[in-house]
Amino acid sequence: MDKINYPMTRINSKNWLDEEDLFPLFNGYIYTSKEKLFNDYYSNKEFVDCKGDIYKVIDRIPPTNFWRNFLKFLPNVYREKLVFIKTNKKIELIELKKDLIAGIRRFNNDATSEAGKEWIMEIERSKSIKEVLCGVQ
């Protein structure tokens, strides 16, 4: 499998449930064992990496390490590896920008309007998918 270039973000903003869908994946792990969370936010969802390659989450692998399971109650100790398949699809920069901006506007409210506007301006200034996901450096 090709190497995924993190961070990644979920695409298809019209299918997003809430603001949680706006958060990027910085590695291939989720830090919970909750079935509902996995199904709502990851299972069979498409993500784009910094190169524009689209991957789909098909499964997760729980940790085999005794200590990760034993200390599950501590934040960021327990983690499950996400299993991705490459879809052989790519997303273009303009399409990704439109999709993310639509998602931000969908969940933008009075409390977040200033932050949302700044984020949208940052996305509009981006010259690559990596800049969209990591910010303009």
Q: Please check the confidence at residue 22 and state whether its pLDDT lies above 90.
A: no
Could you tell me the pLDDT band of residue 103, with boundaries at 50, 70 and 90?
Answer: confident
Beta carbons of 78 and 32 less than 8 angstroms apart: yes
Give the tokens for residue 64: 């085999």
Q: Please check the confidence at residue 8 and state whether its pLDDT lies above 80.
A: yes
pLDDT at 109: 66
Give the tokens for residue 13: 């903003």
Could you tell me the pLDDT band of residue 1, with boundaries at 50, 70 and 90?
Answer: low
Measured torsion, CA atoms of residues 37, 59, 86, 50, in degrees rounded to the nearest 10: 40
Q: How far is CA 106 from the centre of its chain?
A: 17
Question: 44-53: per-residue pLDDT in tens?
Answer: 999 999 999 9
pTM of the model: 0.86
Give the DSSP letter of residue 77: T
Could you tell me the pLDDT band of residue 112, with boundaries at 50, 70 and 90?
Answer: low
Ordered by start, the domain boundaries in the chain are 9-134
Residue position matching structure tokens 């695409």:
11
Q: Round to whole Å and give the CA distance between 4 and 50.
A: 8
Question: 28-78: per-residue pLDDT in tens?
Answer: 999 999 999 999 999 999 999 999 999 999 999 999 999 988 998 888 899
Q: Please check the confidence at residue 135 and state whether its pLDDT lies above 80.
A: yes
Beta carbons of 55 and 46 less than 8 angstroms apart: yes
Number of Cβ within a 10 Å radius of residue 3? 8
Residue range 91-107: mean pLDDT, rounded: 90
